[in-house]
Amino acid sequence: MLVTLEGLDGSGKTTVWEALHERYPDAVFTREPTNSWYGDAVYRSIEDDDADPLAELFLYTADHADHLSRVIEPALERDDLVISDRYSDSRFAYQGATLEAADGHGLADPLEYVVDVHRPFSIEPDLTIYLDLDPETAAARAGTTNKFERAEYLASVRDNYERLLERDPDRFVRVDATQPPEAVLEATADVLADALGESR
Ligand SMILES: Nc1ncnc2c1ncn2[C@@H]1O[C@H](COP(=O)(O)OP(=O)(O)O)[C@@H](O)[C@H]1O
Ligand SMILES: Cc1cn([C@H]2C[C@H](O)[C@@H](COP(=O)(O)OP(=O)(O)O)O2)c(=O)[nH]c1=O
């Protein structure tokens, strides 16, 4: 089963993801951007305020393609539980917003375009847990270490996540990320246990 954690920077994804290691010691824990050289290229682009939005989309997407073939597909073939800190929805929401901010880069609907780019080759998660947080709190928690971590930008990313939740209500489960860390972890663990058919 493929489970993904999504949300704005600072929503607490990594905190939850790390805590889940102890509860699911046999699961495959992974993340995007990955730690491959494709992931390194992505981080170079994140640091570059002048990066071309379309070029950046394809760097992230290259990292995702490699992630699929190197980690995700083999793990799912073994029937492992895979828990990924960010996945395709991050691209739909973030690069959708970046492209929109660049006047759509000639695209009528950037979010739909990014979804379409993924459709032929990507694997849809079975469950996506969305840690929902307002952009101001998210930006404050994350600090402003890169260009993505600004509240105004995060507000448009959040709008895109809302669109994704609306179009796919069966896959997404929303968790209130304004709660204290322990409560966010428990809520996430409950959703996961439910999906795995575990009694808690
Ligand atoms: N529920 C929470 N309430 C308050 N602060 C939190 C919460 N979850 C995480 N944090 C803090 O916010 C910052 C970002 O958390 P992190 O888990 O790295 O978020 P993300 O991976 O979504 O960017 C860290 O300093 C972390 O300790
Ligand atoms: C995976 C992914 C991340 N991002 C952004 C979100 C983050 O601002 C940045 C780095 O991701 P990440 O290291 O997960 O940051 P954080 O832990 O703060 O959430 O890359 C995209 O814009 N598109 C993507 O497809």
pLDDT digits (tens, 9 = 90+) for 137-160: 999 898 866 556 588 899 999 999
On average, the pLDDT of the chain sits at 95
Domain locations in the chain as residue ranges: 2-195
Q: Cis peptide leading into 181, omega within 30 of 0? A: no
User: How far apart (Å, rounded) are the C-alpha atoms in residues 23 and 128?
Assistant: 18
Is a pLDDT exceeding 90 seen at residue 200? Answer: no
Between CA 8 and CA 65, with CA 10 as vertex, the angle to 5 degrees is: 55
Q: Is the dihedral of CA 75, 76, 78, 82 positive or negative?
A: positive
Give the atom of ligand 2 at the shortest distance from the alpha carbon of 42. 20
- Ligand number with the minimum distance to the CA of 146: 2
Structure tokens at 130: 């969305």
| Cβ-proximal residues to 53 (8 Å cutoff; 6+ apart), any chain | 95, 98, 99, 101, 102, 105
Pocket test for ligand 1, best of 11, 13, 15 (most atoms within 8 A of CB): 15
User: How far apart (Å, rounded) are the C-alpha atoms in residues 158 and 143?
Assistant: 17
20 and 184 in contact (C-beta within 8 Å)? no
Q: What is the pLDDT of residue 143?
A: 87
Q: Was 7 annotated as part of a binding site?
A: yes
**Distance between the two ends of the chain, CA-based, in angstroms?**
19
Pocket test for ligand 2, best of 31, 148, 150, 156 (most atoms within 8 A of CB): 148
Query: pLDDT-based confidence at 59, cuts 50/70/90?
Result: very high
User: How far apart (Å, rounded) are the C-alpha atoms in residues 87 and 107?
Assistant: 22
Asked casually if ipTM beats, i.e. exceeds, 0.90, the reply is: yes
Q: 6-21 b/e with 16+ CB inside 10 Å = b?
A: bbbbbbbbebbbebbe
Give the pTM: 0.96
Q: Was 26 annotated as part of a binding site?
A: no
Q: Was 9 annotated as part of a binding site?
A: yes
CATH architecture of 2-195: 3-Layer(aba) Sandwich (3.40)
Residue with the bigger pLDDT between 6 and 104: it is: 6
